[in-house]
A and B are shown apart, each in its own frame.
Chain A
Amino acid sequence: MTPNDLAFVAELTRQQAGVIIRADKSFFVETRLGPIARREALESVAELIDRVRSTNDATLTRQIVAATLVQDTSFFRDRATFARLQESVIPTLASRDKAPIRLLSAGCATGQEAYTLAMVALESLAPPRIDIVAIDFSAQALMKAETGVYSHFEVQRGLPIRSLLRHFEQADDHWKTRPDLRQSIRWGEHNLLDDLTPLGEFDIVVCSHVLSAFEPAAAAATLDRLDAVCRDDGFMVFGANESVSPPAAFASTPTPGVWRRSSAFPRVSSAG
């Protein structure tokens, strides 16, 4: 892939998803774009990029941008975070009143994070009181998330064996999430650069290992959009080792990456 083609794709990704692609990622990008070029019956990735340059085809552009996004994830990624949600945050929210607890998995990739939230919430709540919304830019990742089918390797990364037995059923050499887990999650293709308020308000907003890949201005604006859908006294969660800080309305908690909103803070206009 020529530096010029890579720069072109990187610019599309920055504009459309807010994500930075570094100049040394040409092998990764080329590998990801290969299948799209083949599907379009084109000879090479270079031809695919020429096509987008000359036609500005919006659907194809979107697919190219989605293909460049890193989809790395696992069940119970950041174990301490989920332990805190399970042992303290969710039980406290659950005892507040009888309303459903709303959780947002923003940048859910192939769904492991949303299913982990469902498993953790099921420890203190009945399924009707768990309302998880999981969004991502990538339609392909969401498709896999929604089927809930994971490989032998995927279910052994992070997922304790007892959780596997309890929440999955075996399907040949794959494992599929059980209906009660799937029931509590709604999946949606949604760009984090767009307004999030149509999704409603959430008690816990999880945006983990997403914003570190964003360019700083897009990350800051996205944090404000996430704040706009976080309830007063709600929580915002990032990756434990990410250096992402939420707006000033949030205070840190003893668990790295877990922040709590203070209701005393005025709200930024939710228009952005």
Chain B
Amino acid sequence: MRKVAARIVEQLHFEAIEAADGLEALSYCRSAMPDAILLDWSMPTMDGMEFLEKLRAEPNGDHPLVVMCSAETNPERIQFALDRGAAEYIMKPFDGDIIASKFEAVGLI
């Protein structure tokens, strides 16, 4: 899923950096803050929500637009993710059109 997402993001002419889990993602962000993060809610060691909280506490950590992605479709849970600072939300499964459409919705395209 992560590889697929990265390919799609590259096809949209973005430079994609992949991280296997929240910790790895956080250390990437510390070295170079990205403009956007496609964030999986369920990741090993540190889940998406915990990552988002830690990210926002970093210097310049409110810069990246975060598009959360998860199989969770419960409206209250989705709202929870938005309240925590996700700009958009993708319900799995998704395809390239959906990623493009969500990136457009947050003004990345």
Contacts and interface: CB of A to CB of B under 8 A. Distances in A.
Given A156-B91, A170-B73, A170-B75, A162 B98 contact: no
Nearest to A74: B101
B88 A161 contact: yes
Nearest to B109: A79
B102 interface: yes
Interface string B62-98: 0000000000011100110010000011110111011
Task: Give the contact-size bracket for chain A.
Answer: 10 to 19
A157 B98 contact: yes
A160 interface: yes
B63 to A, nearest CB: 20
Contacts of A157: 97-98, 101
Contacts of A156: 90-91, 94, 98, 101-102
B97 A160 contact: no
Interface in A152-171: 152-153, 156-158, 160-162, 165, 169-170
Contacts of A74: 101
Contacts of A153: 95, 98
Contacts of A79: 104-105
A84 B67 CA distance: 25
Interface in A134-193: 152-153, 156-158, 160-162, 165, 169-170, 173
A160 B105 contact: yes
Task: Give the contact-size bracket for chain B.
Answer: 10 to 19
Nearest to B97: A157
B78 A161 contact: yes
Contacts of B93: 152
A40 B95 CA distance: 36
Contacts of B95: 153
A165 B98 contact: no
Interface string A76-90: 000100000000000
Interface in A62-94: 74, 79
Contacts of B89: 161
A170 B95 CA distance: 21
A162 B82 contact: yes
B79 A165 contact: yes
B75 A165 contact: yes
Contacts of A161: 78, 82, 88-89, 102, 105
Contacts of A152: 73, 91, 93
Contacts of A162: 82
15 contacts: A74-B101, A152-B93, A153-B98, A156-B90, A156-B91, A156-B94, A157-B98, A157-B101, A161-B82, A161-B88, A161-B89, A162-B82, A165-B75, A165-B82, A173-B73
Given A79-B105, A153-B95, A170-B74, 14 more contacts: A74-B101, A79-B104, A152-B73, A152-B91, A156-B90, A156-B98, A157-B98, A157-B101, A158-B101, A160-B88, A161-B102, A161-B105, A169-B75, A170-B73
Interface of B: 73-75, 78-79, 82, 88-91, 93-95, 97-98, 101-102, 104-105
The 10 A-B pairs of least Cβ separation, nearest first, read A161-B89, A156-B98, A160-B105, A157-B101, A165-B75, A158-B101, A161-B88, A157-B97, A165-B79, A170-B75
